[in-house]
Amino acid sequence: MESNNNLFGVNKSDNKSRNVFAAVSLFIVLAVLASLYAFALRGKGLPNGDNSSSQPTHSGDVSGGQSSSETEDSSRPLSQPVSEDQPSSAEPGVSSDTVSEEPSEPSSEEITEHGWVINNLGYTYLYYGIGLEQFTYSSGTLDKYANAVDTLYSVSGSSNFYHILIPTRCEFINFPLDIRKEFYVANQRSFMNGVFGKTDGGVKNIDVYDVFKEKNENGEYIYFNTDPNYTHLGAYAAYAEYCKAAGLTAVSESFYTPMTIDYVFYGKFFTATGAEMLFDNPDIVYYYDVDEVYKSTTSVHKPGGVHKKDGVVFFDVPSYGYYCFLSDEAAKIEVTTSAATGKNALVIGDSSGAPFVTLLVPHYKKITYINSTLCTESILDLLSSGQYEDIIVINYNTTAARTINESLNVLAGIEK
């Protein structure tokens, strides 16, 4: 019995030692495996425990249904000047703070809040609930636009000749550097200075840049979220600066009743992209009720005839809420008023001209608005007729930096 007890004691001790040894070995193996796993994760640039992909894809809201690689390829040409009409930092008049590096890949968390959409408007950048137009230019397009303004001035006779450039919203967005690289934009302040410096001394350039910058910084609603245009408040800012330059007394904003069109407004950025972030951030069309105080008639010249309506701001506009200003879009619109000034004005410009014209009603007996993006015939007879005391050219910077110079030359009687 004693030998059996001794044998039992020896076996029990051996088993205990083996168990301890196995446990220690298992712990060492697990520790080594954990170290190797952590090292592998660090090599991929991911935090420990995160198995998400390091190559984010664009969501449907931002890329318009395109894959990540498709969206990246389509935006790449925008960050590399390839022709005269695209900017180069080496060209005079082009902002030195534009960025020409390849766009950086945003994180998967950010891509749902910003990114490119390619659509019928060209390139639209969606940024935290708003749509933006990219702004680029070259010294060549700057010169061509300034020369076209001079050409209009040269045939304007004795009329006072004013010129206004409207900065667009992307100028005042404080983009982080990685997004600025992706959304390659030129400086609009530099462009405006370049144009103003090259136009004839007889052209009365009206600089509204600082006013728009201040209003934007104050959070005033001068730009739509879902549309490329400015609001009636933005148009009023341009109108007030014009009045200072033209020696007119601007009608105070407080003199008008502020009104709202009774529906939410989804503008061209939304209709072109269908982006959910824009749908969730619709616009309200506020306006100053000019018609309540000043009587006028709007005549819209269409191919099928002239359509007349009383007033300059309208509720019953179809399809596109921005048409509430002057009721429609056309190459030529005339406004006759009850103003006793006896003066007439000719306004030549893009869509920025429509709400601007509504605010001129107190100052002119007749206002003729020529939409330079739609009019394809010479208006030399109007420019040189002497019937307009004041001629005003007004465009967004985005319009001026493209090919509008060709249209302006046609208006001045120069054939393409």
What pLDDT does 228 receive? 97
Pairing of strands 130-133, 160-166: unpaired
pLDDT in tens, the chain (416 residues): 433 333 223 333 444 444 444 444 555 545 545 554 444 433 333 233 333 322 222 233 333 333 333 333 332 222 222 223 333 322 323 333 333 233 333 333 334 578 888 888 888 999 999 999 999 999 999 999 999 999 999 999 999 999 999 999 999 998 888 888 778 789 999 999 999 999 999 999 999 999 999 999 999 999 999 999 999 999 999 999 999 999 999 999 999 999 998 889 999 999 999 999 999 999 999 999 999 999 999 999 999 899 999 999 998 776 789 999 999 999 999 999 999 999 999 999 999 999 999 999 999 999 999 999 999 999 999 999 999 999 999 999 999 999 999 999 999 999 76
Residue 241 makes CB contacts below 8 A (sequence gap 6+) with 164, 206, 207, 208, 211
As a whole number of angstroms, the distance between CA 118 and CA 288 comes to: 35
As a whole number of angstroms, the distance between CA 319 and CA 323 comes to: 9
As a whole number of angstroms, the distance between CA 229 and CA 223 comes to: 7
3-state secondary structure at position 127: strand
Q: What is the pTM of this model?
A: 0.74
Q: Let me know: does 287 contact 324? Beta carbons within 8 Å.
A: yes
3-state secondary structure at position 278: helix
DSSP state, residue 314: -
Q: Which residue has the tokens 């939410």?
A: 264
Q: Residue 314: name the closest of 328, 302, 293, 333 by CA.
A: 328
Q: Let me know: does 67 contact 108? Beta carbons within 8 Å.
A: no
> Taking the CB of residue 71, how many other CB atoms lie within 10 A of it?
21
What pLDDT does 121 receive? 85
What pLDDT does 31 receive? 55
Q: Let me know: does 296 contact 361? Beta carbons within 8 Å.
A: yes
DSSP state, residue 292: G
Q: Which residue has the tokens 């002239």?
A: 306
